[in-house]
Amino acid sequence: MTMMVAGASMLFAGGSAETSQESQGIDMVFWIFLNPESTEDPRSIVLKEIVEEYNANNPYGNTITVESIHWSRFEAQAIQAAAAKSGPDIINMYSDQLKQHIAGGTVQAMTKYAEDFLATIPDYVYTVDSLKINGDIYSLPWESRTFVHWYRSDIFNRAPASLEDLADRSGKESDANMMGFVIGLSDGSNAASFMESFIPLIRSAGGDLFDSNGKAIFNSEAGVKVLEYLKSLIAKNAMNSASLSLVVDDIIDGFKAGTIYSMNAGTQRAAAIRQSSLNNHIESAPIPGFVEGTPAPALVAGQTLGIGKFAKDPAMAFDFIKYFYSVENQTKWLKANVLPARADVYNDSGIKQLPNYDELKMWNEYAATGSVTFYPDDYTEMAVRLAKAAQEAIFRNTPAKKALDEVANWYNNK
Amino acid sequence: MKQRKSLDWNFTVEASTYTILAIAVIFTSFPILWGLTTSFKPLDQINVFPPTLFPKPVVFDSYIKVLFRSNFKVYLFNSIFMTGFTVLVSTALASHAGYALARFKIPHRKNIMFALLMMGMVPIVALLIPLYLLSVQTGLYNTRLVILLIYVAWRTPIMTWILYGFFSQAPIEIEEAARIDGCTPVATFYKIMLPISQSGLVSSALLSAVFVWNDFLIAFTFTTKENLRMVSVGLYNYITQYGIIWGELMAAAIVSIIPMIVLFILMQRKFVSGLASGAVKG
């Protein structure tokens, strides 16, 4: 009977068979998008290795428990937990969403820990100043994904030299079933596909989304130039009105299937892209710019690690974070096609022998032409409005300036 | 001649009916068929143009990955356990409450019934934040118990309302006969009413089972632990930040609908008779 009661209580409490044991370290919870239980995804395997090695070898006797939270609901889940004064000890965040986490109170500043640590790793690709938000460092990027141009080498004999070249050549290859090039103009999935191209293009045109004070300035001549260019893609038949409903996953599926001949997408999607039967004909290159021979400045983003607002012991949480950034662990990430945040990794002999080393190196060099940007906490809402403005300008002939002004005015007058 | 015309007309009506039904079956089952064939396709054949319906060759990689190289079987166990437990407890509570409301003179019965109905109308999303805070404060967050409590509390009112309707329609003469034969009210309920109400109980239990099995919101919100996840959340894992893993997603979806199909096949007769006798009409 006693055993039955014990068994039942274990089942309802979550099936944990752990007994309380005296240990010197602390148990910490780590929230991340990756699932260490996956035996297929190379990134998840690397994560599991790193955590298991830390648990086995850290001198404090700490243990890390990974809890995988779905990426699309991560922010909501973390903010909800913080509102209930709970949450993880270590939290993984996209750089794009960092300010949202700060506003939601999910993460705490770790400036002192980070400054001391960064002083010991000179090959870290981000500077202390570039990581500060209102004078504090809240997280450290551990990967530096960038967004590149993917194209079919059996359709195009070389990467486009400029945006105009891309529009001309893609237009010639398009027909009723195939699109030469696509930028997803859907406002679904946080308008990610649109923004991943809009940002490098507006920078190539000499503009940007925000000025140094955080004021929206995308309604500049540069912004208008980008929308006019997108309109020309339709006029030249490079892409068609189907782009209105396409989100980034749809475009990648189309590219893999062979119905889309070129696209812009993040390097983090390389493994998924290369699962295509057309893999032998898939190449990547920097996103072309308006000036021939000069690529658009890279859009760089990445996953970052921070200390949870309600961490049991911030110093111990940072001890794990430091371990995460060792050259050995960063090398493991690169082998799993994740661009690392430490430059020394590229000198590793094992890395140099990887079959896709040249491509990895090219991504890394291209990423160096941009820098990580921490967008405001209402970035997603603005991105969706911006995509809708682009739809208006491209398909309903609303003047590009007017469409962009409306979004910029809404944003700046909030 | 008139009879011949009538036969022709009947044949036309019947043929049209079957044609429409056949189209409806094809239309509704095509996505499942597409999912099934996709789950057997090699990785590089999933995204091809023009698309192919039948895999060449047929591979079981996606099923092997889902069933043996992921935590999907843990999610399946959790879903089966949560669904089974919720259905058992809710049915036990709701049948007693429904019978009492249908047969006993309870003050404010109409108001109670109205309140039960209203409770079933509150969208679960409206209760999510307070329930979340409560579960964290009581230390129940990340346990099976909190999920089960919520499911039982969510399903019991509407099941009580359904079973109240069923018990109300049952002929009172049977109960009176049992009483004359010496049955107590409690014995009448267990020995007479419950056995003759099987179709109503099965119908309401099946409806609740489908609700719990398909629920995502509670299953996702009240646990972050891998070993407590349910199938609905597990399916979501195949829509990754790096792209959708179509083969495994389809294999997992097919596996996840099998228990519900089996349940419906086993309970089909009682479910249909329950529907026909008004058990779920209230």
What is the number of structural domains in chain B? Answer: 2
- The answer to whether residue B158 sits within a structural domain is yes
Q: Are A202 and A163 in contact (CB under 8 A)?
A: no
Q: Is A123 exposed, middle or buried (0-12, 13-18, 19+ CB in 10 A)?
A: middle
- The answer to whether residue B281 sits within a structural domain is no
Q: What is the CATH number of the domain that holds B86?
A: 1.10.3720.10
Lowest mean pLDDT among A192-196, A239-243, A325-329, B53-57: B53-57
- The answer to whether residue B254 sits within a structural domain is yes
- The answer to whether residue B103 sits within a structural domain is yes
Judge if B55 and B67 occupy the same domain: no
Residue B220 pLDDT more than 50?
yes
pLDDT digits (tens, 9 = 90+) for A60-69: 999 999 999 9
- The DSSP output letter for B189 is I
pLDDT at A17: 40
CB within 8 Å of chain A, chain B residues 28-67: 43-45, 47-49, 51, 65
Residue B209 pLDDT more than 90?
yes
What share of chain B has pLDDT > 90, as a percent?
Answer: 68
Q: Are B224 and A67 in contact (CB under 8 A)?
A: yes
Residue B200 pLDDT more than 80?
yes
Judge if B8 and B108 occupy the same domain: no
B139 touches chain A (CB under 8 A): no
pLDDT digits (tens, 9 = 90+) for B117-153: 888 788 888 899 999 999 999 999 999 999 999 999 9
**Single residue among B14, B41, B59 that ends a domain in this structure:** B59
Chain A, chain B: beta-carbon pairs less than 8 Å apart: 99
Judge if B25 and B142 occupy the same domain: no
Q: Are A234 and A111 in contact (CB under 8 A)?
A: no
Kindly identify which residue of chain B lies nearest to residue A17, measuring between CA atoms: B227
Query: How far, rounded to the nearest angstrom, does the alpha carbon of residue A361 sit from its chain's CA centroid?
Result: 18
Residue B16 tokens, joined: 């049209």
Range of the domain at B250: 63-276
Residue B178 tokens, joined: 């049992």
**Single residue among B59, B78, B103 that ends a domain in this structure:** B59
Residue B281 pLDDT more than 80?
no
pLDDT digits (tens, 9 = 90+) for B69-82: 899 999 999 999 99
Question: Across the interface, do B69 and A39 touch by the CB < 8 Å criterion?
Answer: yes
SS3 of A183-226: the string is CCCCCCHHHHHHHHHHHHHHHHCCCCCECCCCCECCCCHHHHHH
**Single residue among B34, B59, B84 that ends a domain in this structure:** B59
Judge if B55 and B139 occupy the same domain: no
Judge if B173 and B149 occupy the same domain: yes
Task: Spell out which residues of chain A touch residue B221, defining contact as CB-CB under 8 Å.
Answer: 77, 80
Judge if B114 and B49 occupy the same domain: no
Question: Across the interface, do B136 and A84 touch by the CB < 8 Å criterion?
Answer: yes
Interface test with A, best of B43, B44, B45, B47 (most A CBs within 10 A): B47
- The answer to whether residue B263 sits within a structural domain is yes
B107 prior amide bond cis, ω within 30: no
pLDDT at A15: 46
Judge if B98 and B166 occupy the same domain: yes
Judge if B94 and B171 occupy the same domain: yes
pLDDT at B282: 45
pLDDT digits (tens, 9 = 90+) for B75-117: 999 999 999 999 999 999 999 999 999 999 999 999 999 998 8
A31 touches chain B (CB under 8 A): yes
Instruction: Please give the angle made by the CA atoms of A371, A372 and A374, to the nearest 5 degrees.
Output: 140
Measured between alpha carbons, how far is A351 from A354 in angstroms, rounded to an integer? 5
CB within 8 Å of chain A, chain B residues 65-84: 65, 69-71, 81
- The answer to whether residue B223 sits within a structural domain is yes
Question: Across the interface, do A84 and B44 touch by the CB < 8 Å criterion?
Answer: no
Judge if B181 and B254 occupy the same domain: yes
Largest CA distance in chain A: 80
A331 touches chain B (CB under 8 A): no
Q: How far apart are the first and last CA of chain A?
A: 64
Enter the ipTM: 0.80
- List the single residue in A69, A71, A86 with the smallest CB-CB distance to B136: A86
- The answer to whether residue B282 sits within a structural domain is no
Judge if B75 and B53 occupy the same domain: no
Judge if B176 and B241 occupy the same domain: yes
Residue A98, SS3? helix
- The answer to whether residue B161 sits within a structural domain is yes
Judge if B80 and B39 occupy the same domain: no
